[in-house]
Amino acid sequence: PFEGVIEQNVVWGRGAIDNKHNLIGILSALEHLLDVRRNNSNDGTGSPKPPQRTIYVALGHDEEVGGFEGAAAIAEHLIQHESRPLEFILDEGAMILRGAIPGFHKPVAFVCNAEKGSVDIQMTVNTVPAGHSSQPPVGLTNVGILATAITKLENRPFPPHMNSYLGTLRFLAS
């Protein structure tokens, strides 16, 4: 299931269609931007006028397994070679919906640039003497203390926040 098999001009295999529509959409939008700028060029050469801002297209390939060779490598490259802050990042999005917001009848595109996330945490406990396996310590052991810490962490996830989206939602609601 992990390798693509082509049958009747169709690729079959895990990830064969995952998010390809976004890839095509992003590249088509850039192609359209260049076409518009080419058609509006006043220099007579037919060359597109450059966009007002630099546009980076960074496409990863390993998001489902941590993104260490894709997104992480891209981020590291940008940190080392780009001195200006990025003004906008577009990531996987969701569908365009009509009627999703009560009272708002125009289609709304939901951009999900924070739809996933992960964190790696390393915990160490070394406060309770281990003792001998034939006479374990009374009360919580190091494993018990660690299990309690993990349970507390799991029961208190980071609260969701929508800082930059609040203005958009207020606009849509007005």
d(CA 129, CA 123): 17
pTM here?
Answer: 0.44
Q: Render pLDDT for 63-122 as a digit per residue (tens, 0 to 9).
A: 767 778 887 888 888 888 887 777 666 666 566 677 777 777 777 766 655 555 567 788
Q: Which of 12, 45, 21 is nearest to 94 (CA)?
A: 21
Q: Hey, what are 147's tokens? A: 């299990």
Phi, psi (deg, nearest 5) at residue 97 = -120, 145
25-29, 137-141, 144-148, 161-165 — most confident range = 144-148
Q: Which residue has the higher pLDDT, 163 or 32?
A: 32
Count Cβ neighbours within 10 Å for each residue of 47-77 and write b for 16 or more, e otherwise: eeeeeeeeeeeeeeeeeeeebeebbeeeeee
- Return mean pLDDT, the chain: 75
Radius of gyration from C-alpha coordinates of the chain? 25
Q: Which of 165, 81, 26 is nearest to 173 (CA)?
A: 165
- Res 143 pLDDT > 80: yes
Phi, psi (deg, nearest 5) at residue 6 = -100, 120
Residue 152, pLDDT score: 93
- Res 27 pLDDT > 70: yes
Q: Hey, what are 161's tokens? A: 């926040």
